[in-house]
Amino acid sequence: MSNTNVQIFDTTLRDGEQVPGCKLNTEQKVIIAEQLDLLGVDIIEAGFPVSSPGDFASVEAVSKIVKNATVCGLTRSVENDIKVAAEALKYAKKPRIHTGIGTSDSHIKFKFRSNREAIIERAVAAVRYAKSFVEDVEFYAEDAGRTDNEFLAKVCEEVIKAGATVLNIPDTTGYCLPQEYGAKIKFLKENVKGIDKAILSCHCHNDLGLATANSIEGAINGARQIECTINGIGERAGNTALEEVVMIMKQHPYLNLDTNINTPMLYDLSQLVSDHMGIYAQPNKAIVGANAFAHSSGIHQDGVIKNRETYEIIDPKDVGVTESAIVLTARSGRAALAYRAKNVGYELTKLQLDVVYKDFLKFADAKKEVLDNDIHTIIESSSIYNELR
Ligand code: KIV
Ligand code: ZN
């Protein structure tokens, strides 16, 4: 792994599956995991094995079929969780146990009714126990986003000593601002003894719409793993969207951050996950939404028809979308109408276009979108139709 490489930890099958009503069965998890492996994700978090017999079976089945990625199972800092996760992961070529505990004052006081010292003891014991089963142990400091940095550094130091190979710094509640989250990662990089032995990981939630920005800021400040989900699905407002962080790093090479993701697979994977989970990305969703490469206003359409780059910063083929769409609405101009008419077989002169355009606008004002068969209707009922035959 080069110093610029950011590992992509996909948690679609675990945090993503926590969306109410989006439960996946084992067969579905296996289908998605196979595609994630081909996509080139570095780690697949396949589930939370102790949570149910079904999830145990899914983690086990995913472990059997994944060829390249590390397969990971989530646990709490509880011995039985860890033992069960190790059992579910036993067929994985590269198994990882993901264990952890809440570290913010709020979690320590209200969830655990405990104190900082006792939390560190539990964290260390969990990592040591996980280490007795697998070499690769990731520790999460739940609610790290709201955890005091000095205490967080102490926790990180102790779990590294116990053998943690990855330190997950979750902004569990999606509270942090990007500069705050970036500064937290920088603080840990600079203040945790032994940090060179571990990878810092960003795990950001989207409650304020900042999950992607926070993850990128974390990577800029030294994190080398990002935890994310396809389409940004996940608990509450969701997790960091895999397709967004990957394309940000690709489109901004000066950041010196790269991934192993085969980006032309992104669109199909987004559709696959939507179909299995039964929830679809909103049309304006970055990268994979239905309108991400659709142009509807006349000014934009004229530009895109002349040169795609006038209004597109990503080549749609780079994310697996066949081509940009020129959508015809009452806001479209002559250039778009001529372009779409040509696509369905009518080469219009400037004068013919002037005539048809008037008819088109009347039609478009009455309809949300003008489709190919509507173009035929408009042209066939136009006064210039005979000239085209
Ligand atoms: O958001 C979170 O803190 C989590 C942990 C369990 C890693 O999902
Ligand atoms: Zn989470």
Is the Cβ atom of 17 under 6 angstroms away from ligand 1?
A: no
CA-wise closest residue to 136 among 66, 103, 89, 196:
89
With H, G, I as helix, E, B as strand and everything else as coil, classify residue 2. Answer: coil
Q: Which protein residue has the closest C-alpha to ligand 1 atom 1?
A: 172
Q: For position 389, what pLDDT does the model report? A: 78
Q: For position 21, what pLDDT does the model report? A: 85
Maximum C-alpha span of the chain: 87
Ligand 1 test: best mutation among 18, 103, 205, 240, most atoms within 8 Å of CB? Answer: 205
Q: At what angle do helices 26-39 and 53-65 cross, to 10 degrees?
A: 40
State the closest ligand 1 atom to the C-alpha of 205, by its place in the atom list counted from 1: 1
CA-wise closest residue to 259 among 84, 39, 97:
39
Q: For position 22, what pLDDT does the model report? A: 86
Is the Cβ atom of 83 under 6 angstroms away from ligand 1?
A: no
State the distance from the centre of ligand 1 to the C-alpha of 265, rounded, in angstroms.
27
Cα distance between residue 358 and residue 64, in whole Å: 62
Is the Cβ atom of 215 under 6 angstroms away from ligand 1?
A: no
Q: Which protein residue has the closest C-alpha to ligand 1 atom 7?
A: 140
Distances (CA, A) of 184 to 141, 174, 226: 13, 14, 15
Domain ranges of the chain: 7-277, 294-388
- Kindly report the number of other CB atoms within 10 A of residue 4's CB atom: 14
Protein residues placing their CB within 5 Å of the ion ligand 2 = 15
Cα distance between residue 228 and residue 366, in whole Å: 42
State the closest ligand 1 atom to the C-alpha of 11, by its place in the atom list counted from 1: 8
CA-wise closest residue to 59 among 17, 22, 122:
17
Q: How many Cα atoms within 13 Å fall on the side-chain side of residue 192?
A: 27
Cα distance between residue 59 and residue 198, in whole Å: 25
Ligand 1 test: best mutation among 11, 12, 13, 15, most atoms within 8 Å of CB? Answer: 15
Q: For position 2, what pLDDT does the model report? A: 79
State the closest ligand 1 atom to the C-alpha of 142, by its place in the atom list counted from 1: 3
Is the Cβ atom of 203 under 6 angstroms away from ligand 1?
A: yes
Q: Which ligand lies nearest the alpha carbon of 100?
A: 1
Would you say the C-alpha torsion 289, 292, 298, 299 has a positive or negative sign? positive
State the closest ligand 1 atom to the C-alpha of 144, by its place in the atom list counted from 1: 3
Q: H-helix or E-strand containing 95?
A: strand 95-102
Q: Which ligand lies nearest the alpha carbon of 233?
A: 2
State the distance from the centre of ligand 2 to the C-alpha of 384, rounded, in angstroms.
61
Q: Which ligand lies nearest the alpha carbon of 51?
A: 1
Ligand 1 test: best mutation among 74, 138, 225, most atoms within 8 Å of CB? Answer: 74
Report the relative pairing of strands 70-74 and 325-326 from DSSP bridges.
unpaired
- Kindly report the number of other CB atoms within 10 A of residue 289's CB atom: 16
Is the Cβ atom of 168 under 6 angstroms away from ligand 1?
A: yes
pLDDT in tens, the chain (389 residues): 679 999 999 999 999 998 988 889 999 999 999 999 999 999 999 999 999 999 999 999 999 999 999 999 999 999 999 999 999 999 999 999 999 999 999 999 999 999 999 999 999 999 999 999 999 999 999 999 999 999 999 999 999 999 999 999 999 999 999 999 999 999 999 999 999 999 999 999 999 999 999 999 999 999 999 999 999 999 999 999 999 999 999 999 999 999 999 999 999 999 999 999 999 999 999 999 999 999 999 999 999 999 999 999 999 999 999 999 999 999 999 999 999 999 999 999 999 999 999 999 999 999 999 999 999 999 999 999 888 87
With H, G, I as helix, E, B as strand and everything else as coil, classify residue 168. Answer: strand
Q: For position 77, what pLDDT does the model report? A: 98
Which tokens is 16 given? 């993503």
State the distance from the centre of ligand 1 to the C-alpha of 91, rounded, in angstroms.
25
- Domain covering 7-277 in this structure, CATH number: 3.20.20.70
CA-wise closest residue to 74 among 36, 44, 107:
44
Distances (CA, A) of 342 to 296, 326, 335, 346: 17, 12, 11, 5
Are 196 and 172 in contact by the 8 Å Cβ rule? The answer is no
Is the Cβ atom of 170 under 6 angstroms away from ligand 1?
A: yes
Cα distance between residue 128 and residue 134, in whole Å: 10
